[in-house]
């Protein structure tokens, strides 16, 4: 590195300006204290970074900003906002939690997905609603179970229940009813039995 040119300017109106000029690297470092703000500026051949500190704010403007610390704590007494104009990625090598004492809203204008290599639990102490233009649920390796105090399944046009073996059982009563035609058909034996059987 060649010789640096260092200057200090004292002005009763403009304050203090300290400048370090590295002509070989085309880099100029400037520290300015004007009585209102402290400004740190590094100007290079293609990029410039600045830090402006005032009594109520600190603004950092830089192409690449990194913080390397063992622990980081951020506390905001007012509204906090984080905006990325490109991809935003949050990664943890251990457990991660997202908690709010009020309402939580997650929105995506394109596809959204939640996946886990282990279990996924979705639980609500009040109502739980799942809605989509089309909906499907599949258990690829075992039983698929739906349980509730009252269970209702309704199709606005058609309702189909299909399986290799299908069983419908009622512990107290079982009602099968159609407003129009009702068909009971089997390609093999059809059996109707009970302590009392009434047809017609």
Mean pLDDT of 44-73: 97
Using 50, 70 and 90 to split pLDDT, how confident is the model at 173? confident
Specify the pTM. 0.73
pLDDT at 41: 98
pLDDT at 104: 92
Share of the chain above pLDDT 90, in %: 66
pLDDT at 1: 65
Phi, psi of 61 (to 5 degrees): -120, 115
Mean pLDDT of 53-58: 97
């Amino acid at each position: 590195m060649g010789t640096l040119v260092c200057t200090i300017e004292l002005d009763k109106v403009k304050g203090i300006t300290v400048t370090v000029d590295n002509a070989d690297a085309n880099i100029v470092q400037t520290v300015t204290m004007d009585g209102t703000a402290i400004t740190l500026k590094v100007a290079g051949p293609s990029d410039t970074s600045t830090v402006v500190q005032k009594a109520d704010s600190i603004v950092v403007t830089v192409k690449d900003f990194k913080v390397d610390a063992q622990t980081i704590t951020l506390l905001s007494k007012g509204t906090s906002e984080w905006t990325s104009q490109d991809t935003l990625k949050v990664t943890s090598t251990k457990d991660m939690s997202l908690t709010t004492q009020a309402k939580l809203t997650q929105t995506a204008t394109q596809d959204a997905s939640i996946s886990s290599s282990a279990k996924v639990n979705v639980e609500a102490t009040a109502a739980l609603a799942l809605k989509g233009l089309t909906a499907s649920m599949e258990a690829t390796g075992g039983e698929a179970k739906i349980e509730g105090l009252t269970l209702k399944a309704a199709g606005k046009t058609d309702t189909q229940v299909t399986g290799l073996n299908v069983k419908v059982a009622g512990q107290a009563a079982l009602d099968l009813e159609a407003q129009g035609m009702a068909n009971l058909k089997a390609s093999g034996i059809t059996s109707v039995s009970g302590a009392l059987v009434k047809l017609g």
